[in-house]
Amino acid sequence: MKFFVDTADVTEIKKLNDIGIVDGVTTNPTIVAKSGRPIREVLAEICEIVDGPVSGEAVAIDAEGMVREGLWLSKIADNLTVKVPVTTEGVKATKILSEKGVAVNVTACFSAGQALLAAKAGATFISPFVGRLDDVGANGMQLIQDIRLIYDNFAFETEILTASVRGIGHLLEAARLGADVATVPPTILWQLFEHPMTDLVVQKFLQDWEKTGQKLGD
């Protein structure tokens, strides 16, 4: 499973990328606005830090505008992926952009039908919002399972990018269901490292080793 970081905080991106676990980054207009920086500047810096796909979102509501903005965004860096919503106009823009060789992340997906449309239009990624579905009493992870089944049935190459991940539970369940990618806030990725038993065992190993009086490398 690929890990994308859902942030425009370059400090956090650098820390996680230095560990070697970051496969890409996703942003949206809200995230970019929080950075307080011009979109071209922040996306360009992130694209230099991370080798994998970096999603930047078009904000037009019509296909023509999405294509125009998408082409502009795609020129920022070779690893820039254009995000568009899974609306009628967004699917239309996805078809046009994908045929021009632009990677497209179709976002705000809440149904398997929408995911099927995105795949048929040539989307690189489909982003189902599992947490937001859970918020309204639906089963977000069931959507991941449904999309996985449909995509496998027809050998679609579109990757399932689990989004709106609220915790480790969502992340691990997405992995169990075969989602290709999960995009998560930095806090959730850091939590994956944590377990009290790990700390206790490492501490015990170090204490026992110290008693031997030995040093490695001598």
Active site residues: 83
Which helix (H) or strand (E) covers residue 134, if one does?
helix 130-135
Residue at 71: amino acid letter:
L
Burial 185-215 (b: 16+ CB within 10 A, else e): bbebbeeeeeeeeeeeeeeeeeeeeeeeeee
Q: Are 160 and 179 in contact (CB under 8 A)?
A: yes
Cβ-Cβ contacts under 8 Å for 121 (sequence gap 6 or more) = 91, 92, 94, 95, 98, 106
Write out the two tokens for 164.
């709106």
Instruction: Report the distance separating Cα 56 and Cα 67, nearest Å.
Output: 13
